[in-house]
Amino acid sequence: MKSKAPTPAAVAAFKAQVTQWAKRIRVRPRQLRLQPMRRKWASCSTRGTVSFSTEVLAQPAAFREYVIVHELLHLKVPNHGKLFKTLLRAYIPNYETIQPRATK
Ligand SMILES: [Zn+2]
């Protein structure tokens, strides 16, 4: 995977979007990171640090939003069980159909 570093404006817009969703979901990430990640779109630590891959910024808006909501929900529900899916569906009803754009 090869990608250009995101512009400061894109990073700021992304972080603002994460902050908005955190408010809506009512979670408080302790730290928000944006960094190159090889195999994942995002991760979240038990200490409340949420990290997103810079690749997410090059993805379509729907997928970007899905990744944000998915990861923030892990601050409430640490697994992918029934509760997690119910909450995810409440925020993004069509989440099962959202796919990332293939990257080279
Ligand atoms: Zn997950």
- How many other β-carbons are positioned within 10 Å of the β-carbon of residue 42? 19
Which domains are seen in the chain, by residue range?
8-93 (3.30.2010.10)
What is the spatial order of strands in the sheet that 49-53 belongs to? Answer: 31-35, 49-53, 42-44
Instruction: Look over the chain and give the mean of its residue pLDDT values, rounded to a whole number.
Output: 93
pLDDT digits (tens, 9 = 90+) for 33-83: 999 998 999 999 989 999 999 999 999 999 999 999 999 999 999 999 999
- Using the mean position of ligand 1's atoms as its centre, give its distance from the Cα of residue 2 in Å: 24
CA 79 to ligand 1 center in whole angstroms = 7
For residue 4, the CA-to-ligand 1 centroid distance in Å is: 26
pTM: 0.92
Going from the Cα of 44 to the center of ligand 1, the distance in angstroms, rounded, reads 9
